[in-house]
Amino acid sequence: MDAEITVIGAGVVGLAIAEKLSGRFNNLFLIEKHTTFGQETSSRNSEVIHAGIYYPEGTLKARLCVEGKELLYDYCRKYGIPFRRCGKLIVATTGEEISVIDGIRDTAIKNGVVDLVELDRRKIAELEPSVFALKALYSPSTGVIDTHSLMKRYEINTMNNGGQIVYGCEVTGIRKIRDGYEIKLLDADKNDYIFTTSIIINSAGLTSDTVSRMAGMDDESLRILFCKGEYFRLNPPKNKLVNRLIYPVPLHNLVGIGIHVTIDTGGGVKLGPDVTYLDSNVYDYKVDPAKQEAFFHSARKFLPFLEFDDLSPDMAGIRPKIQKPGEPVRDFYIREESRRGFPGFINLIGIESPGLTSSLAIAGHVCDIVSEII
């Protein structure tokens, strides 16, 4: 075999997996169709280190988020990656939302999140004088991170471990062969290349279902749906009025967690993302200025100081969802596919939030799977 392990996709999760495995195994390749890492979902998100509050008990999302959060903070301290453990308020602005807040706390405790604090209006005002809420949950372990710096460190460590990263090459075909797989690549100059590998780890994000189908696994329940989220920037000087992440109660079935307030490591503040399932899987990163009205009214419920002109269009990202509109929340799909007849093929599909927070924990989980089959 030309390679022992091939990871497809250099987003934050693929990079974390490559770093972990390249430290344990020889002859690892990381293949990425773009000319550098993290050009899709990994670079177009809120950059939040989540606490693990919302996800259903017993799911990979819950377990890997709680585990991954502390791993990520330790990693940032070790390598000097910019982060802020700024904390988050989940706010109830109506009596009906207060009961939802209580349910969120119960779920968080079941997931092992034990540091949440209930706040009344007086204590909310002490922490965030410019925020309106009747009741809030305060999560001190939620934070934000410089995702680019994180991915760069994953990349450097992978190469230092002896892993080989190939940018600008798209996987166009996968064929099962004896003891492994044959992978066909197309480079930027439209040249075809073929190489062989014992193990494939499919971490292709928005096209992970396509990669799985290339190998022969056509599962409609794992079809990726492009779910767009847009952001608006809170312009200076109003950005100075918020010091923490401010979240409304989440949407039904966790389709999204509502238009929230996110700060970044540089002190900028943005609102978003919203939730829009795209009719087709097109890379639509346009921000619709007409949505400013909806963002304004949504955020003004808990940011009473907000005026319409305080907002300006910022950016958009796309979530790789396997949860269809109206369906219950879906868990990460991380599985070695021997049961489908594809031994040594590990699929990671539907790795949306909290994928960033969970990246190191996901890498450890995948490493355990690889260790069982090698």
Q: Could you tell me the pLDDT band of residue 254, with boundaries at 50, 70 and 90?
A: low
Residues of the chain with CATH 3.30.9.10: 88-140+225-321
Q: Which pLDDT value is given to residue 250? A: 77
Q: Which pLDDT value is given to residue 252? A: 57
Judge whether 318 and 229 are in contact, CB under 8 Å. Answer: yes
DSSP 8-state code for residue 149: H
User: For residue 103, is pLDDT > 70?
Assistant: yes
Dihedrals phi, psi of 203, to nearest 5 degrees: -120, 50
Average pLDDT (167-171) is: 97
What are the pLDDT digits (tens) for 42-87? 999 999 999 999 999 999 999 999 999 999 999 999 999 999 999 9
User: For residue 220, is pLDDT > 90?
Assistant: yes
User: For residue 249, is pLDDT > 90?
Assistant: no
Judge whether 317 and 273 are in contact, CB under 8 Å. Answer: yes
Select 88-140+225-321's CATH number: 3.30.360.10, 3.20.20.20, 3.40.50.620, 3.30.9.10. 3.30.9.10
Judge whether 82 and 149 are in contact, CB under 8 Å. Answer: yes
> 3-44+148-223+330-373 belongs to which CATH class?
alpha beta
Q: Could you tell me the pLDDT band of residue 102, with boundaries at 50, 70 and 90?
A: confident
> pLDDT exceeding 90 applies to what percent of the chain?
92
User: For residue 256, is pLDDT > 60?
Assistant: no
Average pLDDT (338-364) is: 98
CA angle 227, 20, 30 (to 5 degrees): 65
- 329 Cβ contact list (under 8 Å, min separation 6): 55, 56, 253, 254, 323
Q: Nearest 10 degrees: CA dihedral of 274, 50, 35, 280?
A: -30
> How many of the other CB atoms lie within 10 Å of CB of 327?
11
Could you write out the DSSP letters of every residue in 165-192?
EEESEEEEEEEEETTEEEEEEEETTS-E
Q: What's the chain's average pLDDT? A: 95
Residues of the chain with CATH 3.50.50.60: 3-44+148-223+330-373
Can you point out the beta strands (E) in 162-275? 164-167, 169-177, 180-187, 192-202, 225-234, 245-248, 260-263, 269-272
Dihedral-angle region of residue 186 (phi above 0 means left; psi in -120 to 50 means alpha; beta otherwise): beta
Can you point out the beta strands (E) in 128-168? 135-139, 143-145, 164-167
User: For residue 12, is pLDDT > 80?
Assistant: yes
> pLDDT exceeding 70 applies to what percent of the chain?
98
